[in-house]
Structure 1
């Protein structure tokens, strides 16, 4: 399904975004456009999400965003603390590699794709890859959060990331945005129906992306831009 997998360990978030490759976010934008659901992104929500991931995954680089109100800063602090208090999450953060950009070629369409998983782990015994993605959520309980997996296309992200990186498991960590700041774990393994459903979703969108975009997103173009960024 994918080949030419290549990691870029020194790439920053800004450089990752600049790469001329197709991301999961691009697929979401394409889907919204096809359905006539184009909406302007909420800048504050995007800033909050980026700050949350930085506070959890790269705490040494985290600074409270000056453009967020105090109540949001306090919430960020509480959410990051909730993740660190959770024993299993602490172990994931200790063992995983955060925010490592990868590019690969989708064999069917020739499109070069990019992804930057929150965490990438390799199991010590069987040398299997596990991907972890943190999601903040306003859901009231675990059951409601599980229901959002299909609603928000987390199944598509899981399959897309797992297939590109040849991972065996994709773990979604839901972090509740209100007291008591519960942590919910949802695991999607390679052979589950959820993964098959997500695979169908991203495959259809990649085909449509290739059809309507005349510019070829080549690996050489990605490497050229990377060299310019560095």
Structure 2
């Protein structure tokens, strides 16, 4: 259970990252450490992810070109193309129109006293504020929806969805995934490159499993922090 939910309106992604609280990324690093997985080299992936989310959620703030850096320019162009592909689909376009993008929140995890921070891609409240939906956009190299669904647990999308839903009191968590590698298809006799876009709402079972994961990780995180504090004092 989480208490003391606090919005942080208007802060940037960089300001959100600078908040001295526990993020889902921190839990991913801890999970890798506990499972003995090597640290992920994610600088390039992080840059592309930032471009993709900016192009999708805040296109007015996104610069799609960079004449000074060929590789960066290519990443920006790909991000813009994927964002455009998403907007061509009816449901993603609908939620982008209705949702509130890139807003930061903090809350206290009651069992550990840890303060966590979340920044959902989109937060959508029903007109009467009775239902809340979280939407998270993902890029993927998967060849089809079935393969993408296998990555939900592998990459911790279930854990992130459960954490964000519990912090924000959301009733639904929807993933919208777009292929990074385009499929070549024939449209009206001509070849056209179109990435697939998939929509998947996390099931009750996926949310329950994700909840177990983040609760265990928060307990481990709190224990490590307590041990480190005791070592510094002694």
TM-score of the pair, normalised by structure 2: 0.87
- RCO comparison, higher one (Cα < 8 Å, 6+): 1
SS at match of 1:30: helix
The Cα of 1:41 is off from its aligned counterpart by: 2.3
- Give runs of aligned pairs for residues 115-134 of structure 1, distance below 5 A: 115-125=118-128, 127-134=130-137
SS at match of 2:202: strand
Distance (Å, rounded) in 2 between the aligned partners of 1:125 and 1:86: 26
The reply to whether residue 86 of structure 1 matches residue 94 of structure 2 is: no
Structure 1 unaligned segments of length 5 or more: list them: 217-230
CA contact (8 A) 1:24 1:115 kept: yes
Structure 2 unaligned segments of length 5 or more: list them: 183-193, 230-234
CA contact (8 A) 1:21 1:113 kept: yes
1:182 to 196, 200, 210: 196
The Cα of 1:73 is off from its aligned counterpart by: 3.2
Distance (Å, rounded) in 1 between the aligned partners of 2:140 and 2:159: 18
1:154 to 157, 165, 174: 157
The Cα of 1:123 is off from its aligned counterpart by: 1.3
The reply to whether residue 46 of structure 1 matches residue 59 of structure 2 is: no
Moved over 3 A (4+): 65-71
The Cα of 1:170 is off from its aligned counterpart by: 0.3
- Which residue in the other structure is 2:218 paired with? 206
Distance (Å, rounded) in 2 between the aligned partners of 1:69 and 1:167: 36
Aligned length: 214
Give the structure with higher Rg (CA). 2
The reply to whether residue 142 of structure 1 matches residue 145 of structure 2 is: yes
The Cα of 1:77 is off from its aligned counterpart by: 2.2
1:65–1:29 CA distance, 2 compared to 1 (3 A): farther
1:126–1:82 CA distance, 2 compared to 1 (3 A): same
Distance (Å, rounded) in 2 between the aligned partners of 1:148 and 1:40: 16
TM-score of the pair, normalised by structure 1: 0.88
1:126–1:17 CA distance, 2 compared to 1 (3 A): closer
The reply to whether residue 193 of structure 1 matches residue 218 of structure 2 is: no
The Cα of 1:70 is off from its aligned counterpart by: 4.2
CA contact (8 A) 1:51 1:65 kept: no
- Which residue in the other structure is 2:185 paired with? none
* CA deviations over 1:135-159 (Å, ceiling 9, x no partner): 0000000110111101111110110
